[in-house]
Structure 1
Amino acid sequence: MPIDVIDYDPDWPERAERACEELTASLPGVFLEIEHVGSTAVPGLAAKPIIDLMASVRLLAAVTDREAALEGLGYRREETGMPGRLFYRREDPAGRRSHHLHVVTADTWESRNERLLRDHLRADPQAAAEYAALKRALASGDPDGLAYTRGKTGMIQRFVDEARRSRGLPLVPVWEE
């Protein structure tokens, strides 16, 4: 399936806010923090039109015990093999991915690469433009999803390393095993 990278949509933050409100209302008291992350959270950045959210919890079991509520909102868990994380996807009525929800524990919240990358790109328009150009080039080359993701790895690693250094955090690989 081709990768669809489109111009920034000013509606993305509102869609993310609505999704956060739905999640908080459906699982009251479960999420400690919930934020819009990913490329759709960076004003002006071209992106795949998928709203990425990241939420923190004390224990992941607080979410797995309440998955029926997530399913009621259209979120389905997908096994990613990433330790210490739950991942849910949501599709629109046409069957296209519309949202991703990453759930992590609160003790890792401040050092999450997704949040660090988002903040770095928001603060550095040149980095955001460089990233957008790479994403468009990769998407135009008829990649599959894995090739597209892997093609961004070097640049994402560089930006995350810059963000981690600026905060005095240890450097870590951007892709969890």
Structure 2
Amino acid sequence: MASVDQLGLVEQHESALVGLGYARHFNGMTDRLLYVRAVDGTRTHILHVVDAASWPTRNQRILRDYLREHPEDAARYAQLKQEIATAGIAPGDYARAKTEFIQEVMDRARAERRLPSVPVWEK
């Protein structure tokens, strides 16, 4: 995830991301730009570009920081992701399969930062 002052500026320079192998992906999220990089049809990178003003309360940033501070939860998350990948869950269902765990962790992480709980599922 990256933050920028204006999302429109990223769109104006999208050719640079294309040159790095990223393709714009539209999935209905209106608060960010989404780019996917794939090799032989398999996703290798996903880049979310968000407005800098939203960065302090972004769940993704809060989750990243929380997992860095709580290695036991990071290990649980890594194990869950491995189990999901091994089960062969389709890419569209991958995020949904992690939602319960992420909601649990995000509730704790946001509480630690005195932020209200919010739903993590974005669609």
Fold shared by both chains (TM-score > 0.5): yes
Q: Please list the CA deviations of residues 102-157 of structure 1 after superposition, one character each: whole Å capped at 9, or x if unmatched.
A: 11001100111111111111111211122222223323323212333212100001
Q: Runs of 4 or more off by more than 6 Å in structure 1?
A: none
Residue type of the alignment partner of 1:115: R
Residue ranges of structure 1 left out of the alignment (5+ in a row): 1-53
Residue ranges of structure 2 left out of the alignment (5+ in a row): none
- In the alignment, structure 1 residue 132 sits paired with structure 2 residue 78: yes
Instruction: Choose the corresponding residue for 1:167, options 92, 113, 118.
Output: 113
- In the alignment, structure 1 residue 66 sits paired with structure 2 residue 13: yes
Residue type of the alignment partner of 2:82: R
**Contact kept in structure 2, 1:83 and 1:176, CA below 8 Å:** no
The Cα of 1:95 is off from its aligned counterpart by 4.1
Q: Which has the higher helix share?
A: 2
Task: Give the equivalent residue in structure 1 for 2:52.
Answer: 106
Task: Give the equivalent residue in structure 1 for 2:23.
Answer: 76
Percent sequence identity over aligned pairs: 50
Q: Please list the CA deviations of residues 19-45 of structure 1 after superposition, one character each: whole Å capped at 9, or x if unmatched.
A: xxxxxxxxxxxxxxxxxxxxxxxxxxx
**Contact kept in structure 1, 2:96 and 2:121, CA below 8 Å:** no
Residue type of the alignment partner of 1:91: A
CA RMSD between the two structures? 1.6
- CA 1:115–1:152 in structure 2 vs 1: closer, same or farther (change >3 Å)? same
